[in-house]
Amino acid sequence: MKLDEKIKLIKQVGEEIISDDELIELLKTKEHPIAYDGFEPSGKIHIAQGILRAINVNKLTKAGIHFKFWVADWFALMNNKMGGDLEKIKLVGKYFIEVWKASGMDMKNVEFLWASDVMSDTEYWLKVINIGRLNSVTRITRCSQIMGRSEQETLSAAQIFYPCMQCADIFHLKADITQLGMDQRKVNVLAREVAPKLGFKKPIIISHHMLLGLGEPPKTTISGADRAIELKMSKSKPDTCIFMTDSYEEIKRKFKKAYCPEKMILDNPVLEYCKYLIFEKYPFLTIMRPEKYGGNVTFNSYSQLEEAFVAGNLHPQDLKNAAADAINQMLIPVREHFEKNPKAKKLQEQVEQFETTR
């Protein structure tokens, strides 16, 4: 693949890239750069973590990038996920991997590594301690949003380690690229700051878009990465979140209640799902409606759909119905995988049991 084609693919993923020049130089000098993402195994997985993650990873691997997923089991432990039960956390990590397999993620260029496997490595802990030595508690606390926490929250002593360890992960995995959501921006910037002081190469940051929840977004005056974090889909609000194993009935119910103001684009989650999910997976979207409301209409691109919606030629409820049907089609292979594969089915049952008992 030519350099400009690789750049085009990567920019489809990167809502923000730090920096373009460094990325171009990396692609010129390294045939298969390493990208890293870490994830906490923390219960059920939603479509932003599942389908959108698979779409983005496939674009990057198509551009020649080798992807390392860091299964952050010890991080989930520090963040008190699954009641701090490490064995449960590990089972949830295996469940996440099964979801991605069923979501169409290209596994040929993806590697899954477990944080627990390096916790006895003194070289890893030396990196962690040196990062801590170079930063104040205040500086580290500013990165607390990477854990889904705010700076105003009281952090446990374990959670203070978290940003230093995540920063060390990048160097330990020899990652050229950090490819996480905008909510992880602060710790990625921290890694760039400390890298030259510790003798490491600065990682390039490729931050992907944070998909909105289906509810009405809160009114906010903040902008940039902080705004993306506040508005993102969250499994703590299950009615505004599509889970990867939701039934068709659940998907329809959630879309029926979804925020979708007529003619409005800004912070419209239904349009977002069309842009970042549906038109990434399918070449068109057909809106089914009675003749008295204009009859069926097919859109061959997101821009066509958006133009019709803004002009008032497409009613929000018709759009929501079509989006629900398209999202359901994406999730059918995932549901079938967990129904037919005994190993995957058992993992799903265990994770759902954890969700109801914690």
Same domain, 121 and 171: yes
Whichever domain contains 146, its CATH number is 3.40.50.620
Q: Residue 301 belongs to what domain range? A: 224-357
Residue 183: the pLDDT is 87
Q: Is residue 74 part of a domain?
A: yes
Residue 22: the pLDDT is 97
Distance from C-alpha of 207 to C-alpha of 192, rounded to nearest angstrom: 14
Same domain, 260 and 114: no
Same domain, 12 and 158: yes
Residue 143: the pLDDT is 82
Outline where 232-315 has alpha helix (H).
248-256, 269-273, 279-281, 302-310
Q: Is residue 7 part of a domain?
A: yes
Q: Is residue 181 part of a domain?
A: yes
Task: Report the number of distinct structural domains present in the chain.
Answer: 2
Same domain, 331 and 190: no
Amino acid letter at 349? E
Outline where 103-145 has alpha helix (H).
122-133, 137-141
Same domain, 145 and 259: no
Same domain, 192 and 299: no
Residue 292: the pLDDT is 87
Residue 42: the pLDDT is 84
Per-residue pLDDT 10s for the chain (358 aa) are 899 999 999 999 999 999 999 999 999 999 999 999 999 998 889 999 999 999 999 999 999 999 999 999 999 998 888 888 999 999 999 999 999 999 999 999 999 999 999 999 999 999 999 999 999 988 888 887 666 655 556 778 878 888 999 999 999 999 999 999 988 999 999 999 999 999 999 999 999 999 999 999 877 656 665 666 666 777 778 889 999 999 999 999 999 999 999 999 999 999 999 999 999 999 999 999 999 888 999 999 999 999 999 999 999 999 999 999 999 999 999 999 999 999 999 999 999 888 755 5
Residue 145: the pLDDT is 65
Same domain, 48 and 193: yes
Same domain, 202 and 244: no
Residue 356: the pLDDT is 56
Last residue of a domain, one of 208, 234, 259: 208
Q: Is residue 215 part of a domain?
A: no
196 in Cβ contact with 241 (< 8 Å): no
Scanning the structure block, which residue is given the tokens 């594969």? 341
Residue 50: the pLDDT is 93
212 in Cβ contact with 240 (< 8 Å): no
Same domain, 193 and 310: no
Q: Is residue 297 part of a domain?
A: yes
